[in-house]
Amino acid sequence: MGYLAFLERMGQVNDLLNAKSILNWDALTKMPPGGAETRAKQLATLSVMARDLLVADDTRSLLDKAEPEIAAKPADCVEAVICRQVREAIDYHLRIPAELVRKRAELGSIGHEIWAHARAASDFSAYMPHLTKTVALNREMAEYIGYEGHPYDALMFRFEPGETVATLKPLFAKLRDGMLPLLRAIAQKDAPRIDFLERHYPADQQLAFGLKMAEKLGYDLNRGRLDLTVHPFEVSFTRNDVRITTRIVEDWMPGSLFGTLHEAGHALYEQFSDPAYVRTPLATDLIGLYAVSGVSFGAHESQSRLFENQVGRSRQFWELNFGAARDAFPDQLADVDAEAFWRGVNRVKPGFIRVEADELTYDFHIMLRVDIEAALTDGSLAVKDLPEAWNAKIKEYLGLDVPDDRRGVLQDVHWSSGQIGTFCNYTIGNVMAGQLFEAANKDAGVASGMAQAEYAPLREWMTTHVHQHGRRFSRDELLVKASGRTLDPAPYITHLTSKYSEIYGV
């Protein structure tokens, strides 16, 4: 009974965090404008209550009583894993002074408006005071959290546990070595045509087609729904209610389509986690205080990137599904074939804005942010020198001169929330997607399924090797079990090289 009582307490923590996610979803999709101010208070209260319930004396006493009850079981059994994770999370939160958490929430609550104004005016100096405080507070937080190598490791722990500056350095080097020559070579070649993607695609038809493709990949609408938002996202309120959003641009069809496949990939991770883990810590990020089954932000991104890019932007996918696209958009795609469509949606074009970047240039946007965040955290880069450092990296990687900070260092919302350390997961997700897709393709059923536009075997492989485990295994444990090794950029680089050499003849 001791363990069960403890588990029910953890269920309440999960309930509170799911409630918070529902309030967030509502705020971004349905809430009337007037509701913003009091909604922020409600969200803050749910955060505080969840954290306080996790570290409460009687929660710890429930854990104390649960541990001896399962002491005789194997160390890797679910119960033991859960107890260890909860103890680790309690220790983590108790290390950080409540006052610091409050300060960060305060910084986050005022940051968005300051940032939005600074970005609109392209005025970095207006954002500097807030960012300076954010950096200082995060450095202080890193000391409380603790780290072995680099203070930035402590900040990444919340999003990508186990990842460090030391491990990212060689990974990024390999990626640059593999991808930069490709990018340089493509720059010399003619771009595929994309004019047909810029025709008028009515919003409701885009929504319907995107959702149809998402369902084809396995997204279950009995436990999901699609809405419109300014910034697309996926959010779950247990595996039984996993929602995605998209943004429609009527004269840029790939935006919503691939955005929807991306969010559907995230959604599959949640929808196909083990039902037995519902409301348990294996479906709760107790470090980040977020109700989620994915084991890390990077692992989550592996699923969105895999279904968006490895599957959704592949030649095979459009050879088999272009007919459906043409049925949905007969006029817009009248003069296009599967081959041209596939080439068009894979066009490479270096640009200033991360969220508009293509598959090949995206990681450069990420690598520069991670390097810069690490340098801000260890003090080797001063906030005032940030625009210069940013622009130099954009020049080095993409050959572009940043015209203003709005299209440079001020473009991302992330820092305004008071958070530093959130970026590496995007590139880790790409790398993992390469490994997992390569591994899945070795399964004859997966490969032959995809050759017939059947994606259930692929989804089932991912469920078996990734989704179902929730947060039971670490990201690296999961990756080793699924692909035989920890992070390895080779399959991803091979995927990019192979695709772009076909399209660009490089």
Please give the residue ranges that form the binding site for a copy of itself (CB under 8 A).
11-12, 15-16, 18-20, 22-23, 26, 30-39, 41-42, 44-46, 48-49, 53, 220-225, 237-238, 240-241, 243, 278-279
Is 243 in contact with 221 (CB distance < 8 Å)? no
Give yes or no for a contact between 70 and 79, defined as CB atoms under 8 angstroms apart: yes
Q: Which is nearer to a copy of itself, 20 or 313 (CB)?
A: 20
* Residue placing its CB nearer to a copy of itself in the complex, 47 or 321: 47
**DSSP state string for 155-200:** HHTTTSTT--HHHHHHHHHHHHHHHHHHHHHHHTSPPPP-GGGGS-
Using only C-alpha atoms, what is the Rg of the chain?
23
184/189 Cα distance (integer angstroms)? 9
Whether 263 is catalytic: yes
What does DSSP say about strands 224-228 and 242-246: parallel, antiparallel, or unpaired? parallel
**Residue among 263, 301, 373, 460 flagged as catalytic:** 263
Q: How far apart are CA 231 and CA 116, in angstroms?
A: 14
Please tell me the distance from the alpha carbon of residue 463 to that of residue 477, in angstroms, as a whole number.
15
- Using DSSP, state whether 228 is helix, strand or coil: strand
d(CA 10, CA 66) in angstroms, rounded, equals 12
Contacts 24+ apart (CB under 8 A), 342-345: 342/313, 342/314, 342/315, 342/317, 342/318, 343/192, 343/193, 343/503, 344/192, 344/193, 344/194, 344/196, 344/197, 344/254, 345/197, 345/254, 345/258, 345/313, 345/318
Given the structure tokens 């997961």, which residue do they identify?
A: 425
**Least distance from C-beta 470 to a copy of itself, angstroms?**
15
Strand partners, 242: 224, 236
Residue (18 or 419) nearer to a copy of itself, CB: 18
Residue whose entry in the numeric block shows the structure tokens 């470090």:
287
Report the residue number, 47 or 497, with the smaller CB distance to a copy of itself.
Answer: 47
CA pair distance 253, 203, nearest whole angstrom = 9
Distance CA 165, CA 372 (A): 11
Rounded CA-CA distance 69/228 in Å is: 48
Residue 159 — φ and ψ, nearest 5°? -105, -35
Nearer to a copy of itself by Cβ, of 217 and 433: the residue is 217
Which is nearer to a copy of itself, 181 or 275 (by Cβ)?
275
Residues in the chain: 506
Q: What are phi and psi of 242, to 5 degrees?
A: -125, 110
Q: Is 239 or 347 the residue whose CB approaches a copy of itself more closely?
A: 239
Instruction: Indicate the residue among 229 and 498 with the shorter CB distance to a copy of itself.
Output: 229
Q: How far is the CB of 7 from a copy of itself (least distance, A)?
A: 13
β-strand partners of 225: 243
Which C-beta is closer to a copy of itself: that of 35 or that of 379? Answer: 35
Selection from 171, 154, 170 nearest residue 162 by Cα: 154
Q: How far from the centroid of its chain's Cα atoms is residue 452's Cα?
A: 29
Contact (Cβ atoms closer than 8 angstroms) between residue 343 and residue 503: yes
Backbone angles phi, psi at 228, to 5 degrees: -100, 135
CB of 271 to a copy of itself, least distance (A): 9
Q: Residues with Cβ < 8 Å from 120, sequence gap 6 or more?
A: 406
Q: Which residues belong to the active site? A: 263
